[in-house]
Amino acid sequence: MNVTRTTSAVDDGALTWALPNKVSPLIYVSRNGIEYAQTKTEKREFLNRRSGKLLFAWGGQYKTDVLLVDDRRRLAALLS
């Protein structure tokens, strides 16, 4: 698992394909626990949250990259 990358390091074309996909969830980490979103509606709600860490899991053929979401507005625009 690679958690050193951020979503700002990934080009728009790749995110536009992967973000709406149900197999690429957003993971929300807060003091209250961990939640994950798979649908577009759930992902939009997570992107509007102000606190907590948000991660994007991008599954590949042989591994899964977990990216730190550091540009919530950009991802929200790509999701719509």
- The tens digit of pLDDT for each residue in 19-60 reads 888 888 999 999 999 999 999 999 999 999 988 999 998 877
Q: How many domains does the chain have?
A: 1
In a domain, 53, yes or no: yes
pLDDT band at 5 (very low <50, low <70, confident <90, very high): confident
In a domain, 38, yes or no: yes
Torsion angle of alpha carbons 39, 66, 10, 61, nearest 10°? -80
pLDDT value at position 50?
A: 87
Show Cβ contacts of residue 7 under 8 Å, excluding neighbours closer than 6 positions.
15, 56, 67, 68, 69, 70, 71, 74, 75
In a domain, 42, yes or no: yes
In a domain, 59, yes or no: yes
Is the pLDDT higher at 35 or at 17? Answer: 35
Give how far Cα 20 sits from Cα of 11, 31, 47, Å. Answer: 15, 26, 13
**Entry pTM:** 0.84
In a domain, 44, yes or no: yes
Domain span at 29: 7-79
In a domain, 2, yes or no: no
**Per-residue pLDDT at 3 exceeds 70:** no
In a domain, 40, yes or no: yes
